[in-house]
Amino acid sequence: MQFEPTMICENKTARELYEAVKANPARARFGFGKKLAIVNVDFQQAYTRPDLFPKTSYVTDPRQIEYTNQISALARGRGMPVIWTRVAYKADAGDAGVWGTRTDTPDSLQNIKVDSERHAFDPRVKIDEAVDLVFTKRMPSAFFESPLQSYLVWHQVDTVVVTGGSTSGCVRATAVESLSRGYRTIVPEECVADKHESYHFANLTDLQLKYADVVGVAEVVDWLNAGSN
């Protein structure tokens, strides 16, 4: 039995497709649960500072870090976990695995070394070292071989809000694994970024349709503020 291809082909940009999905009032939502965690993925200079690292960094919404700091502060103020990840490897990149084998230039992933300028958090992010969970990861998902899962279980979290970059890489990987582990997963649109709008909006569309609620950051702010009244 043989069928003709059924894949839809149309002359629309990734942004247009995303806006159409976003505008659908009938789409189902996972919604917020009882307690959330903010998982801020890779707000490090390699990815947030085009003045220092123009080949690897990206800015989608100029207020991304401001918004992320805002919802992190609100969550922290309600006793809800805030997590910050970043990526780096040891001197010989032996812990980068197969992910580190595709290229080997000064800008390559495996050449983000521990305690380097590329590993450093962007100075604009507001981390409370005494309260927040901060760790270095080595693979796309913030859950992979990290303390994140046990931390969320201990804090009885049922909802994960994912921010950071890139939308098509570590944000997506973290969001998909979050859903796979049973968490309601939320991605505030203004709080994620990518290098190219095609990757960014294509992955927001896929996340919205399958793995997460992609919402305006104001919705996260409103939910956090409502709980403190």
**DSSP letters spanning 97-135:** GGGGSS--STTSGGG-BTTSTTTSBPTTS---TTTSEEE
> What is the tens place of the pLDDT at every residue in 130-188?
999 999 999 999 999 999 999 999 999 999 999 999 999 999 999 999 999 999 999 99
- Residue 229: band (very low, low, confident or very high) from pLDDT cuts 50, 70, 90: very low
Structure tokens at 43: 């707000």
- Rounded distance between C-alpha atoms, residue 127 and residue 123, angstroms: 10
Write down the pLDDT at residue 19.
Answer: 95
Residue 96 DSSP code: S
Mean confidence (pLDDT) of the chain: 96
What average pLDDT does the segment 74-95 reach? 97
Structure tokens at 99: 């992910």
- The answer to whether the peptide bond before residue 180 is cis (omega within 30 degrees of 0) is no
Domains: count for the chain: 1
Specify whether 170 is catalytic. Answer: yes
**Sign of the CA dihedral running 195, 198, 199, 201:** positive
3-state SS class at 214: strand
Q: Is the pLDDT of residue 227 over 80?
A: no
- Residue 27: band (very low, low, confident or very high) from pLDDT cuts 50, 70, 90: confident
Q: Within a domain: residue 1?
A: no
Domain holding 179: CATH number?
A: 3.40.50.850
- pTM, two decimals, is 0.96
Closest CA to 187 of 173, 202, 204, 170: 204
> What is the tens place of the pLDDT at every residue in 63-75?
999 999 999 999 9
Domain, as residue range, for 203 = 32-226
Catalytic choice (170, 176, 191, 224): 170
> What is the tens place of the pLDDT at every residue in 105-136?
999 999 999 999 999 999 999 999 999 999 99
Q: Within a domain: residue 76?
A: yes
Q: Within a domain: residue 13?
A: no
- Rounded distance between C-alpha atoms, residue 96 and residue 177, angstroms: 20
Q: Within a domain: residue 8?
A: no
- Rounded distance between C-alpha atoms, residue 165 and residue 173, angstroms: 10
What average pLDDT does the segment 189-214 reach? 97
